[in-house]
Amino acid sequence: MSVSTVFADSSMTTWAHPTATANGKDVNITSTVLDLAVLPGTVNNDAGMILPVGFTTGSIQFGGNGIVVSGLTSTETAKVCFSFPVYQYSWTGEIYDWTGTMWVVMLTTIVAPTGENSLYYSCSSKVSNGTYSLLIGYNVSSSD
């Protein structure tokens, strides 16, 4: 049995920009999509791939761009969603919040495609102001 690292090829998939939606009427929210090159909490590996800090090399990678949510008061929340075009190919993932020193996992729900939408989405329903990213890994056991 041989084991190797697998990376999601972003050139072969469509990673739509993440979105943020306020969880209430009259809530002012600002969201900014961040390219991986300017996302905090990253490191370049020897091959030039941008990876999240704090994880074993090859275990987790970014799934698309990140998003910054701002403008919420301490009692307001938002929902963030990330496209997850490789979910059906044995990839798993969760949304993480950058605390300034580490990526912390958020409660994440996978949303299956509906109607004309052919993409899976990964969403977290109650986020506050912060920087969020979808971190993904290949589920070796489901490809057996």
pLDDT at 13: 58
Residue 13: inside a domain, yes or no? no
Question: Shortest CA distance to 46 belongs to which of 57, 37, 61?
Answer: 57
Residue 9: inside a domain, yes or no? no
pLDDT over 60 (residue 117): yes
pLDDT at 137: 95
Residue 30: inside a domain, yes or no? yes
Domain with 137 in it: 19-143
pTM for the whole thing?
0.87
103-137 exposure pattern, b = at least 16 Cβ within 10 A, e = fewer? beebebeeeeeeeeeebbbbbbeebebbbbbbbbb
pLDDT at 6: 44
Structure tokens at 18: 């993440």
Residue 14: inside a domain, yes or no? no
Question: Shortest CA distance to 127 belongs to which of 17, 20, 42, 35?
Answer: 20
More confident residue, 2 or 110: 110
pLDDT tens string 65-82: 999 999 999 999 999 999
pLDDT over 80 (residue 10): no
Region 1-25: mean pLDDT is 68
How many structural domains compose the chain? Answer: 1
pLDDT over 60 (residue 144): no
pLDDT over 70 (residue 46): yes
Lowest mean per-residue pLDDT among 9-18, 26-35, 58-67, 82-91: 9-18
Highest-pLDDT range among 5-19, 37-51, 63-77 = 63-77
Q: pLDDT category, 139, cuts 50, 70, 90?
A: confident
Residue 8: inside a domain, yes or no? no
